[in-house]
Amino acid sequence: MYGEMHLSKRELRSCMELGKALTSELDPNRLFGTILRKLSEMIPADIWSLLLLDRDTGELRFSLSVDLNIEEIRDIRIKAGQGIAGQVALTREPMIVEDVTASKFFNDEIDRISGKTTRSVMCVPLIFGNQVVGVIETINPHKTTKKALSILMFIADYAAIAVENTRRYQHIQLLANKDDLTGLYNTRYLYQVLADLFEKSKSSANPFALIFMDIDHFKKVVDAHGHLNGSQAIQEVAATIRDSLADPAFGVSYGGDEFVVVLPGYTKSRALVKAEEIRSLMNQTVYLSNKGINVLLSASFGVAAYPDDATNILRLLSVADKAMFNIKSGGKNATGTAY
């Protein structure tokens, strides 16, 4: 019904121009900002929010909001059917609520967190390929007319395509940056991120650190148990590394049985603590246990930090590598620095 409302030539042209802009944008930050900014111009309201569906959990999460502090609501998850946004995602139908006090679906959790007052809501689903990918929700729209909802639904069709395009693009980018065997990042991604880290650290004076690690006596594992089991052991060590890290830190498969751990914001002393944590976890883990082999593995760890040890990428990697080789030559299964 709403989609059949008549739009003026100006309104239709504005929608079409926005649609073209959305479907040609692959950067999610610019895309989501464009969606909400243009919508707020076309349909004035107190608050605009874009919520995307997490495919793993089936829950909605706030991706961007205008006039709400996104940091306050970023961790909120909305189940299908929960609140007005959840109900729209569940039924796949748009909803106008002119008085939330009369709605059985309204949930005031966001109001309690933000200190805002919701009086009315207009919400539409984003649907791509017969699947809900998110919702756009406007709080206290200045107009809750069928024409306003018609414009919102028109744009939502383009927004759904744009959201899915960015997801697919990000997935392709992620695959291009991941190591096939371990699932950790590859060296291509490492050098990209290090270049960015150096630039940001120069302007902000924030430190960051690297851990260079190499599995001890790994050739003996391959000789004793074969290359396939050796590959699985490397996968399991990579899992140990992942289990030891929290964003924005990440691990890199540097080749063979070598790994690099990138620690944004870490000083050298803090990075040494993290290296020791990974080393200790490795020592406590039995590898290849599902094969009945029960291999114990250790590694040698070298730590280097910006700006203490180097002010360029190759030098920093070289210092961390040197620190690792110092450990190798001094007995292995330990952590240390070059200087």
Q: Is residue 180 part of a domain?
A: no
Report the pLDDT averaged over residues 208-224: 95
DSSP secondary-structure letter at 179? -
Q: Is residue 182 part of a domain?
A: no
Does the pLDDT of residue 18 top 70, yes or no? no
Same domain, 38 and 170: yes
Total domains in the chain come to: 2
Cα dihedral across residues 324, 329, 333, 334: positive or negative: negative
Same domain, 132 and 195: no
Same domain, 229 and 112: no
Same domain, 199 and 152: no
Q: Is residue 315 part of a domain?
A: yes
Say how many C-beta atoms besides its own lie within 10 A of residue 116's C-beta. 15
**Residue numbers of the domain that contains 294:** 187-337
pLDDT at 2 (0 to 100): 43
Same domain, 47 and 78: yes
CATH code at position 192:
3.30.70.270
3-state secondary structure of 130: coil
Same domain, 161 and 234: no
Q: Is residue 181 part of a domain?
A: no
CATH code at position 163:
3.30.450.40
Domain end, chosen from 148, 175, 202, is at 175
pLDDT tens across 264-308, in order?
999 999 999 999 999 999 999 999 999 999 999 999 999 999 999
Does the pLDDT of residue 12 top 80, yes or no? no
CB 213 within 8 A of CB 300: yes
CA distances from 196 to 122, 170, 179, 212, 314 (A): 40, 18, 20, 19, 14
Strand partners, 62: 51
CA distance 79 to 185: 32
Does the pLDDT of residue 23 top 70, yes or no? no
Same domain, 226 and 326: yes
Same domain, 164 and 296: no
Same domain, 111 and 7: yes
DSSP secondary-structure letter at 145? -
pLDDT tens across 121-177, in order?
999 999 988 889 999 999 998 887 787 888 888 778 877 887 887 777 777 776 778
CA distance 69 to 40: 17
DSSP element (H, E) containing 300 = strand 299-306
**CB-count burial class (<10 Å; 0-12, 13-18, 19+) for 309:** buried
**CB-count burial class (<10 Å; 0-12, 13-18, 19+) for 74:** exposed
pLDDT tens across 86-134, in order?
999 999 999 999 999 999 999 999 889 888 999 999 999 999 888 899 9
